[in-house]
Amino acid sequence: MSKTLNTAGLKTVLNETAAEWRTHSDTLQQLDSILGDGDIGVTVDLGGKAIIDCVAAFADDDIGKMLMKCGMSVNKASPSTFGTLLASAFMEAGKGLVGKKEIDVKDIAIAGQGAVDGIKKRGGAVVGEKTMLDSLVPAVEAFKQALANNPDVKGAVSAATAAAKKGMEDTKNMKAKHSRASYRPDGGIGVQDAGATAMYYLIEAFGKNLAAQIG
């Protein structure tokens, strides 16, 4: 039986994850200014801070509600396209865990799938269109796949992180179908997507901190 994570443990994971994620904001700002308007870096900075503030202020112990509250805070702090999609991911992930005070790896997989569904529903994109889904979807699939074979958290995390990295790198060869890049005749081919990159950094940091808690 694998270890479980209570509300306090998840707060630590989210807090550390957001802090690490924010350190990438300058890199992301530069990357996003090639095809977008450069606001993904700002969103990562403000959105990361909103997550840190939200978990610190959350007094209840319902994990689902905490994730939904984080989504609202991210949206309020940065209602950019990326910020709003990230907020939708948190809100949909939270919906699946409402009422839980303790979660295990299977719940993490449910939340991951919720995040995918939330982003797809709100943004209307699918895999292969040069968006944050291109790193998130392979990561969630790899995580679920790894757990089906072996309930080892560390193994599942490293499979998910590797899949996210490959998905992120693959966006270089994709043509954008959404956002500003889609108005370019070349669709941004040759440039790695800033949204997919920001999502990779988030997955990397989350996986590392999750493994540290229950690995």
Summarize as ranges the residues that interact with another protein (CB under 8 A). 39, 72, 75-76, 79-81, 84-85, 87-88, 122-123, 178-180, 183-184
- By C-beta, is 91 or 137 nearer to another protein? 91
- Name the residue among 194, 158, 203 with its Cα closest to residue 41: 194
Q: What is the smallest separation between the CB atom of 77 and another protein, expressed in angstroms?
A: 8
- Name the residue among 138, 142, 136, 135 with its Cα closest to residue 157: 142
Q: What is the smallest separation between the CB atom of 119 and another protein, expressed in angstroms?
A: 10
Q: What is the smallest separation between the CB atom of 86 and another protein, expressed in angstroms?
A: 11
- By C-beta, is 7 or 88 nearer to another protein? 88
- By C-beta, is 99 or 183 nearer to another protein? 183
Q: What is the smallest separation between the CB atom of 93 and another protein, expressed in angstroms?
A: 15
Can you read off the two tokens belonging to residue 127?
Answer: 């895999």
Residue type, position 25, single letter:
S
Q: What is the smallest separation between the CB atom of 101 and another protein, expressed in angstroms?
A: 23
Q: What secondary structure letter does DSSP report for 176?
A: P
Helices 25-35, 194-214: inter-axial angle, 10-degree rounding: 150
Cβ–Cβ < 8 Å for 148, 180: no
Can you read off the two tokens belonging to residue 163?
Answer: 């899949």
- CA dihedral sign, ordered 70, 204, 27, 197: negative
- By C-beta, is 65 or 144 nearer to another protein? 65
For the chain, give the number of residues.
215
- By C-beta, is 7 or 73 nearer to another protein? 73
Can you read off the two tokens belonging to residue 70?
Answer: 């984080």
